[in-house]
């Protein structure tokens, strides 16, 4: 059995993340041998978010607050969460969410989900859709007819 302490795990950030999204993280699944479920730990400095407001089309996600008081935005509005609060994000529009630290202290949360080899996410605020793979984002307004370019 592999184990990792979610409070003590070392996190790192992507150097190219823009201001507002300077969040450090660790992918726990690979560390413990997980293949069908993904778990990530995120540490949010004050004023930072994990990612833009979005929803998944095929993956359910769960959020558990480990430390601090993040603000959770969902289709129902915003609410502040506290340590050990848990939220569930179903697939589709009802599961849209964004996690932001609006406090003066660091926040640590974990998010876990089922893992799929192909996934899509929708970003309602910017009207984009992302597809992984290939890891590309597209504007929803650029949609074409199913037969476009085929006939």
DSSP 18: P
57, part of any domain? yes
Residue 61 falls inside a structural domain: yes
- Regions of the chain where pLDDT drops below 50: none
Q: Give pLDDT, residue 1.
A: 62
In whole angstroms, give the CA distance from residue 97 to residue 88: 10
Is residue 83 in a domain? Answer: yes
Residue 81 lies in a domain: yes
* Residue 88 included in any domain: yes
Residue 11 lies in a domain: no
Phi, psi of 104 (to 5 degrees): -95, 0
Residue with tokens 């950030």: 13
Total number of domains in the chain: 1
29 domain residue, yes or no: yes
Q: What whole-number distance in Å separates Cα of residue 120 and Cα of residue 100?
A: 22
Query: For residue 139, is it within any domain?
Result: no
Q: Tens digit of pLDDT for each residue in 1-21?
A: 689 999 999 999 999 999 999
Reported pTM: 0.94
CATH code at 57?
Answer: 2.60.120.10
Domain that holds residue 52: 24-116
At 100, list the tokens.
């932001």
| Nearest CA-CA partner of 6 in 43, 50, 41 | 41
pLDDT of residue 2: 83
């Amino acid at each position: 059995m592999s184990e990792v302490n979610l409070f003590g795990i070392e996190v790192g950030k992507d150097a190219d993340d823009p201001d507002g999204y300077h969040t450090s993280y660790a992918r726990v699944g690979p560390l413990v041998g997980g293949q069908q479920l993904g778990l990530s730990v995120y540490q949010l400095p004050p004023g930072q978010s994990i990612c833009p407001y979005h929803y998944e089309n095929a993956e359910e996600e769960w959020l558990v607050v480990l430390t601090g008081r993040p603000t959770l935005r969902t289709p129902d509005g915003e609410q502040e969460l506290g340590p050990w609060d848990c939220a569930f994000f179903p697939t589709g529009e009802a599961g849209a969410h964004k996690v932001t630290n609006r406090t003066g202290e660091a926040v640590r949360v974990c998010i876990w989900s089922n893992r799929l080899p192909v996934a899509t996410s929708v970003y309602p605020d910017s009207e984009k859709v992302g597809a992984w793979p290939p890891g590309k984002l597209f504007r929803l307004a650029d949609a074409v007819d199913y037969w476009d370019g085929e006939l």
